Amino acid sequence: MSKQFSTTEKEYGFTTRAIHAGQEACPSTGSLITPIYQTSTFVLDELGKNKGYQYARSHNPTRTALEECLASLEGARYGLAAASGLAAVSIVLDLLKAGDHVVVGEDVYGGVYRLFERVLRKFNINFTYIDASNLEAVENAITPETKLVWIESPTNPLLKLADIRAIANICQRRRTPIRLCVDNTFATPYFQRPIELGADIVVHSTTKYLSGHSDIIGGAVICNDEELYSELKFFQNASGAVPGPFDCFLALRGVKTLALRLREHERNATLIAKYLESHLQVEKVYYPGLPSHPQFDLAKTQMAGFGGVVAFVVKGGLEAARTVVNSTSLFQLAESLGGVKSLICHPATMTHAPIPKEVREPLGIVDGLIRLSIGIEEGKDLLKDLESVLALTQQPITAQ
């Protein structure tokens, strides 16, 4: 008989829960690591009696292990693993009906914006975009129809923070309850736990840090309330965007080293953010761990660490940005973030291309903006890579 581990036991530290929660040895074989249950269906003991599993769209043991582990890491009771981050977002939005209104932090991931504006508006769900770092703006945007406040913190790509506890208070003070959903993809539960700060729902793109190796697409929805969980579970089963068992296995494998990886991501990110801040070709650096970040104080209290994403504006606009992103050797030009390999991306033409120029530019997503997902290579090698490409953007001094 393998030892039992209660996923809700708070006495265990984060890394212990990442390795054990939901992952008891298999009772029938003793398999130490949760197996990949590559099956679509499960045999019943007799009519009306099964072993907890019947059809893999509804439940699969590899997925259950991942869900229990993620819930435990977020300090919550319930988790749902989804086919992608956007599938996770969709499941939460299924809670709404025509006529409902959502208050949204303005620099959300471009794909989330596209889902809200191009898909859900067709069903008469309405969205108001505000600067979620401004509590008055959040409060003023709420209408009698508001059912949900949707924020990312830190945001993608400008790493702005929202005060999760204060926004949760705003939502809870209303006579008709408004739910607060936080996309915790950037911070991860290692650095920030929104449910403990008063949020109702957390979503993740597990594609990013949670799996951590840039080899799966996945998502998750986490919550504490049983009724809310049942509703979300119903919607997921009804629409069917579930992850396969192999992807769940990879996510669960990745989660085991989340804390170790994040400490390295952050160490490298801090080194690079400081370097960029002192560089003459750099106009602005965005990183919550820099004292120059306008919400550095909030970052220090709300988060246990500052993450591995750094954004900066290179002098010289689109042409200079093009030179930088096309010329790095270690930083790979690619969308996504949160993997062990460093990536470089140009939000205006890549991740945030669905947002019209006239909307994105006033937000700060300008043509010279570059986003770095700092990996866990040697920090000095990453610095050298950036140093050499920034040198290429320097204007030649022409003789008079």
Q: Per CB under 6 A, does 185 bind ligand PLP?
A: yes
In terms of Cα–Cα distance, which of 248, 271, 305, 276 is closest to 36? 248
For the question of residue 384 being annotated catalytic, the response is: no
DSSP-derived secondary structure for 334-366: -S---SSS-EEE-TTTTTTTTS-HHHHHHHT--
Cβ-based nearer residue to ligand PLP, 351 or 393 = 351
Query: DSSP E strands: which ranges in the chain?
Result: 78-82, 101-105, 126-130, 146-152, 179-183, 201-205, 219-223, 282-286, 309-314, 332-333, 343-345, 369-373
Count interface residues toward ligand PLP (CB under 6 A): 15
Least CB distance to ligand PLP at residue 384 (A): 28
Which residue reads 């009772």 in tokens? Answer: 27
Q: Per CB under 6 A, does 254 bind ligand PLP?
A: no
Among 62, 64, 72, 84, binds ligand PLP (CB under 6 A): 84
Q: Per CB under 6 A, does 219 bind ligand PLP?
A: yes
Among 135, 166, 217, 340, binds ligand PLP (CB under 6 A): 217
Q: Residues 144-183 vs ligand PLP: string with x where CB under 6 A?
A: --------x---x--------------------------x
Least CB distance to ligand PLP at residue 288 (A): 15
Q: Indicate the SS3 state at residue 207.
A: coil
Kindly identify the residues of this chain, within the stretch 319-378, that bind ligand PLP according to CB under 6 A.
336
Cβ-based nearer residue to ligand PLP, 60 or 156 = 156
The three state secondary structure string of 235-302 is: HHHHHCCCCCHHHHHHHHHHHCCHHHHHHHHHHHHHHHHHHHHCCCCEEEEECCCCCCCCCHHHHHHH
- Token pair for 97: 């009906």
Among 109, 191, 249, 312, binds ligand PLP (CB under 6 A): 109
Active-site choice (37, 100, 107, 109): 109
Cβ-based nearer residue to ligand PLP, 329 or 349 = 349
Residue 344 has φ and ψ, to the nearest 5°, of -130, 140
Cβ-based nearer residue to ligand PLP, 20 or 261 = 261
Look at strands 201-205 and 219-223 and give their pairing: antiparallel
For the question of residue 53 being annotated catalytic, the response is: no
Q: Per CB under 6 A, does 106 bind ligand PLP?
A: no
Task: Output the CA torsion sign for 224, 225, 226, 227.
Answer: negative
Least CB distance to ligand PLP at residue 84 (A): 3
Least CB distance to ligand PLP at residue 110 (A): 8
Cβ-based nearer residue to ligand PLP, 17 or 193 = 193
Q: What is the CA radius of gyration of the chain?
A: 22
List CB contacts of 336: < 8 A, sequence separation 6 or more. Answer: 207, 208, 214, 343, 373
Compute the distance between CA of residue 42 and CA of residue 56 in angstroms, rounded to an integer: 8
Please check whether residue 49 is in contact with residue 26, taking contact to mean a CB–CB distance below 8 angstroms. no
In terms of Cα–Cα distance, which of 106, 115, 99 is closest to 149? 106
Compute the distance between CA of residue 383 and CA of residue 271 in angstroms, rounded to an integer: 8
Please check whether residue 167 is in contact with residue 180, taking contact to mean a CB–CB distance below 8 angstroms. yes
Among 64, 72, 192, 207, binds ligand PLP (CB under 6 A): 207
Distances (CA, A) of 152 to 167, 281, 324: 12, 29, 27
For the question of residue 322 being annotated catalytic, the response is: no
Cβ-based nearer residue to ligand PLP, 111 or 316 = 111
Kindly identify the residues of this chain, within the stretch 110-149, that bind ligand PLP according to CB under 6 A.
111-112
- Token pair for 339: 């993997």
Look at strands 179-183 and 146-152 and give their pairing: parallel
Active-site choice (12, 53, 57, 315): 57
Instruction: Select the span of 81-89, 137-145, 167-175, 262-270 touching ligand PLP (CB under 6 A).
Output: 81-89
For the question of residue 109 being annotated catalytic, the response is: yes
Kindly identify the residues of this chain, within the stretch 6-35, that bind ligand PLP according to CB under 6 A.
none
Among 61, 75, 79, 85, binds ligand PLP (CB under 6 A): 85
Active-site choice (100, 107, 183, 367): 183
Cβ-based nearer residue to ligand PLP, 316 or 375 = 375
Q: Binding residues for ligand PLP, per CB under 6 A? A: 84-86, 109, 111-112, 152, 156, 183, 185, 205, 207, 217, 219, 336
Residue numbers annotated as active site: 57, 109, 183, 208
